[in-house]
């Protein structure tokens, strides 16, 4: 059986670019930075450097500068202080999220509630608002024979479930706790 190609210029196997796993480290970093730049909005453009002690006699140095995200340069990890509310964030990403959620311009918040026209910077914020405020959605405790009526948010429900399961157990005695911090405080009693 003779087979004739419709398009004689067609080549069934073409050269493909190398997979990203074989890219150089510098190229991978550039791609990561480009992705970060694409995801951040302009209201998160400048990030303060970590707080440092200033010497009165010192000259301005590179540590006192502000870096712009769209320049592709992120400051090193440290403490990022919000100039609006003085809250501290550990990473640049957390700082940008904080700015987008708490200090964004109401005109930039694109997610609007159809019931009360409240606007949100994140889709998850709108979804949580509709469930808790307008739908009166309650999350019931999955543990049998629990008499609690339920919670509006899943975070509170998860904290409640831990009171039943008590996942943090002491390795020296039979004590069990719902919170890790309570276990750590308890373990000090064994040291005395």
Distance CA 179, CA 159 (A): 8
* Ramachandran quadrant class, 117 (left: phi over 0; alpha: psi -120 to 50; beta: rest): left
Write phi, then psi, for 155 (nearest 5 degrees): -65, -45
Write phi, then psi, for 67 (nearest 5 degrees): -110, 145
Query: pTM score > 0.95 for this model?
Result: no
Tell me what pLDDT residue 127 has: 83
Tell me what pLDDT residue 27 has: 67
Tell me what pLDDT residue 21 has: 55
Extract the tokens encoding 186.
């308890």
CB 34 within 8 A of CB 72: yes
Tell me what pLDDT residue 43 has: 31
Distance CA 175, CA 155 (A): 24
CB 117 within 8 A of CB 102: no
Tell me what pLDDT residue 23 has: 62
- Please, what are the domains in the chain? 21-49+62-102 (no CATH), 105-137 (3.30.160)
pLDDT along the chain (192 residues), means of 10: 51 48 62 54 36 45 41 56 82 78 75 84 82 82 85 83 86 89 88 78
Neighbours of 79 (CB within 10 A): 14
Distance CA 79, CA 90 (A): 5
């Amino acid at each position: 059986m003779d087979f004739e190609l419709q398009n004689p210029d067609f080549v069934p196997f073409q050269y493909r670019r190398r997979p990203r796993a074989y890219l150089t480290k510098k190229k991978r970093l550039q791609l990561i930075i480009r992705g970060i730049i694409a995801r951040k909005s302009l209201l998160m453009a400048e990030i303060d450097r970590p707080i440092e002690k200033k010497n009165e006699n010192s000259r301005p140095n590179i540590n006192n500068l502000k870096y712009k995200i769209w320049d592709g340069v992120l400051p090193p990890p440290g403490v990022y202080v919000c100039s609006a509310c003085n809250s501290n964030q550990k990473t640049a990403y957390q700082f940008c999220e904080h700015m987008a959620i708490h200090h964004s311009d109401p005109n930039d918040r694109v997610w609007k509630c159809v019931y009360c026209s409240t606007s949100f910077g994140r889709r998850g914020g709108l979804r949580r608002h509709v469930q808790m405020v307008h739908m009166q959605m309650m999350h019931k405790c999955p543990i049998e024979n629990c008499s609690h009526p339920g919670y509006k948010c899943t975070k509170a429900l998860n904290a409640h479930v831990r009171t039943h399961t008590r996942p943090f157990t002491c390795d020296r005695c039979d004590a069990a706790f719902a919170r890790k911090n309570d276990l750590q405080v308890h373990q000090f009693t064994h040291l005395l």
